[in-house]
Amino acid sequence: MTASEFKEYVKTNGVKKAAREVDVVTTGTFGAMCSSGAYINFGHADPPIKMQKIWLDGVPAQAGLAAVDGYIGATALDETNNMMHGGAHVIEDLVRGKAVRLRATGYGTDCYPRKEIDTYVSLRTVNQAVLMNVRNAYQNYAVATNSSAKTLYTYMGKLLPEFGNATFSSAGELSPLMNDPYYRTIGIGTRIFLGGTQGYVMWEGTQFNPGAPRTPNGVPKRPAGTLAVIGDLKQMNPEFLKGLTFTRYGSSLGIGIGVPIPILDEDMARCCAVTNNDILAAVFDYSQPTRSRPVLREVSYAELRSGDIDIKGKQVPTSPLSSMYKARQVSEVLKSWILKGEFTIQEPVQSFPKDRPLKTLDVRTEREAT
Amino acid sequence: MKTKVVLTFSPEASNQPITHNLIAKHHLLVNILRAEIDEVGGKMVLELSGKADDIRGGIDYLKANGVGVRPIKEGVRRDDEACTHCGMCVSICPTKALTMDLKTGKVSFNEDKCVACGVCIDACPPRAMEILI
């Protein structure tokens, strides 16, 4: 069953019956996930080059991995900061089967004498092309609004002045980690839906923060768990992988992720029965450019989904940033794969840590950092 | 009947009392939805109400005086292939031309409500909205 179907089923049949009858629940999310990118092995040129700097369609990719491996990050921009075509757009172009221009320079060594190359590559011409994202599928996030007198352009979208609107970015009750709040079934090695193909959870995501405050049912009220994921870019589908532009912020990658959750017992069924009424997020004023913004209020995803919320007595229209429509598609496609036997559930080879404090970056002396 | 039009002016045409003439000489009810002017001319979005003949007469008058007239439907376009239905646009659209169906999660674009203000253009992450005027 998809997560939406399961919640309905529990409402009419109760948790006990649902736990007996249902084997697997498929979750889904589709949203901007900035901490994404792809590594590519371009193959060796003749004469060979040890690439020290790499550009794909003008967007710099990270070199420094032997000779012809590069990593292009979703938010990488060219020298002109062209946000309409960042790393995420290059990745989408590749998935669409397009050829992209590869330029690279090197300093020349005895074994890699070539100093530059200017050519075209596509997913057909390269060896590996692997999407490897270090922080995706945030277990809850924030609600952004703006109390100032001017429009703000943020990674949470366009925020109109004087609390003109509010945006939120989690798929709520459909989102993978909302349905497995304590990471009982999701861990390293979990097989998932990633960008239209099968991928894997490769690690806890960066900024993984299981200690975030939770409601009595265990669902975090603040950004908490995250996933690091990996999958074959060559198999991905542009329906579920999209280059995005957030004006004056930059580019980001819209990606569809779905995780199957086996209903191990009644407790797991209870977790997957969670609805938008039970999931809370905090509203932050993004006009305060600091790390710790004050919380204006807590609000449920049911309220956020209704189209407006009350902030300081004002009815403020809301926008989701993750697509409910595509999140449902992800959960439905994943369900169909499982029913057809094309996708099998993989038990994690290792669970995530239960305790991992979230650290900050401060200006320190060498002694303070040691 | 009612119709919404987008008017574009050259600097010369900007100096004429065209709104007054539409009301006084062509007996139209004019609702100014949007108006702006800069060094290269001006742009106005009007809702015109009146008899069909009067509306036609008013539009002919505008054209004869060097004002570009286009139906609003040619003002803003959505690329349905590019839209991911994320919903970023729904909270910023001042006329609720962009709305989300809460059941399906799909965002629909009602061109009749659009006043071509362009607020959605740079807010759309997949850049599915395009302004043509």
* CA A235 to centroid of chain Cα atoms: 18
Mean pLDDT calculated for residue range B52-60: 91
Contact (Cβ atoms closer than 8 angstroms) between residue A162 and residue A313: no
DSSP string, A203-262: EEPTT--TTS-B-TTS-BSSS---EEEEEEGGG--GGGEEEEEETTTEEEEEEEEE-EEE
Q: What is the model's pLDDT at position B110?
A: 93
Express as a percent the part of chain A with pLDDT over 90.
Answer: 98
Answer yes or no: is pLDDT of B11 > 80.
no
Residue B12, both tokens: 């010369």
Of all helices (H) and strands (E), which one includes residue B8?
strand B2-9
Contacts of A243 in chain B (CB under 8 A): 126
Given 3-state DSSP classes, what are the helix, strand and coil percentages for chain A, each rounded to the nearest 5?
20, 35, 45
pLDDT at A84 (0 to 100): 95
With a cut of 90, say whether residue B15 has pLDDT above it.
Answer: no
Question: What's the pLDDT score for residue A149?
Answer: 97
User: B63 versus A332: which is more confidently predicted?
Assistant: A332
Determine which one of A34, A111, A271, A272 is catalytic.
A111
Looking at CA atoms only, how far is residue B64 from chain A in angstroms?
40
**Per residue in A37-87, pLDDT tens?**
999 999 999 999 999 999 999 999 999 999 999 999 999 999 999 999 999
Question: What's the pLDDT at A226?
Answer: 97
User: Phi, psi at residue B127, to the nearest 5°?
Assistant: 55, 50
* CA distances in angstroms from B83 to A193, A240, A256, B80, B93, listed in the order given: 21, 12, 14, 5, 16
**Average pLDDT rounded to a whole number, residues A217-236:** 97
Enumerate the residues of chain A whose CB falls inside 8 A of the CB of residue B100.
307, 320, 324
Collapse the DSSP code of B7 into the 3-class scheme (helix H, G, I; strand E, B; otherwise coil) and give the result: strand
A272 is catalytic: no
Q: Tell me, what's the pLDDT at B33?
A: 84
The one-letter amino acid code at A311 reads I
- Kindly indicate the confidence band of residue B85, based on its pLDDT and cuts at 50, 70 and 90: very high
For the cut 80, the answer to whether the pLDDT of residue A320 exceeds it is yes
Pairing verdict, β A197-204 and A260-262: unpaired
Three-state DSSP class for A10? Answer: helix
pLDDT category, B73, cuts 50, 70, 90? confident
| pLDDT > 90? residue A308 | yes
Query: Could you give the C-alpha distances from A351 to A47, A186, A190, A347, in angstroms and in order?
Result: 46, 7, 10, 10
Q: What pLDDT sits at residue B44?
A: 86
Give B-chain residues touching A319 at CB under 8 angstroms. 86-92
Q: What digits encode the pLDDT tens for the residues B87-126?
A: 999 999 999 999 999 999 999 999 888 888 889 999 999 9
Structure-token pair, residue A316:
């403020």
pLDDT of residue B115: 85
> How distant is the Cα of B87 from the closest Cα of chain A, in angstroms?
5
Go through the domains of chain B in sequence order and give each one's CATH number.
2-74 (3.30.70.260), 76-133 (3.30.70.20)
With a cut of 80, say whether residue B29 has pLDDT above it: yes
**CA A276, A282, A285, A288 torsion: positive or negative?**
negative
Closest by CA to A76, choosing from A91, A59, A93, A56, is: A59
Percent of chain B residues topping a pLDDT of 90: 44
- Quote the pLDDT of residue A188: 98
> For chain A, which residues lie within 8 Å of any Cβ of chain B, measuring from their own Cβ?
30-32, 84, 153, 157-158, 160, 164-167, 242-247, 252, 254, 305-307, 316-328
Average pLDDT of every residue of chain B: 89
Q: What is the DSSP letter of A127?
A: S
pLDDT at A282: 97
Q: What is the mean pLDDT of chain A?
A: 97
Residue of chain B nearest A315, judged by CA positions: B91
Query: Are B45 and B116 within 8 A, CB to CB?
Result: yes
Q: What is the pLDDT of residue B122?
A: 95
Asked if the model's pLDDT at residue A89 lies above 80, the reply is yes
User: Under DSSP, is residue A97 helix (H, G, I), strand (E, B) or coil?
Assistant: coil
Find the Cα–Cα–Cα–Cα dihedral B111, A159, B105, A14, rounded to 10°. -160
Q: Is the distance from CB of A200 to CB of A257 less than 8 angstroms?
A: no
Give the closest of B104, B106, B123 to A157, CB-based: B123
pLDDT of residue B19: 86
